[in-house]
Amino acid sequence: MKITINVEPSAKETSLLVTCKELTPQVEKLLASIRILDKQITVKKDDSVFLINLEDIFYIEALERRTFIYTDKDVFDSEMKLYELESALAQYDFIRVSKNTICSLRKIKSLKSEVDRKIKITLENGYQIIASRMYADELRKKLGV
């Protein structure tokens, strides 16, 4: 991969041009990482590609080698792995709550302690997810409870 940076003092905005022979998964991951900096993420649903804002995401779940992004009304697929999203989204108030789930702290409505130190998380849209005991302490710490 060749990277060229052109500093142009008269430029009115920053633009990025990606030239590639084909749109490979590697190029898609690169573009997805760049979009996260703009607080958006590239997702797929059916045969369409969408850009969604990070603030619209309630939680992200990995199931059967696929990554799903849950918003208020839709579920999308992501090409990125859960650990890649966790790393990229940590600065935007997303936290891992179980082995296969990342949750937006901004979308949490309530918490309820469960058996074995687990926490039942109710999100603003009524979805409920479980924070495993391995991640429950970090969740409490982040929320100050």
> Burial level of 105, CB count in 10 A (0-12/13-18/19+)?
middle
What pLDDT, on a 0 to 100 scale, did the predictor assign at position 120? 94
What pLDDT, on a 0 to 100 scale, did the predictor assign at position 37? 65
Which residues of the chain have a pLDDT value below 50?
A: none
State the CATH class of domain 25-143: mainly beta
**Rounded Cα gap, residues 103 and 16, in angstroms:** 30
- Judge whether 124 and 58 are in contact, CB under 8 Å: yes
**Rounded Cα gap, residues 106 and 113, in angstroms:** 19
- Model confidence pLDDT, tens digit, residues 26-62: 887 777 777 666 688 889 999 898 889 999 999 999 9
Domain boundaries, the chain: 25-143
**Rounded Cα gap, residues 11 and 134, in angstroms:** 48
Q: Number of H helices and number of E strands within the chain?
A: 3, 10
pTM of the model: 0.74
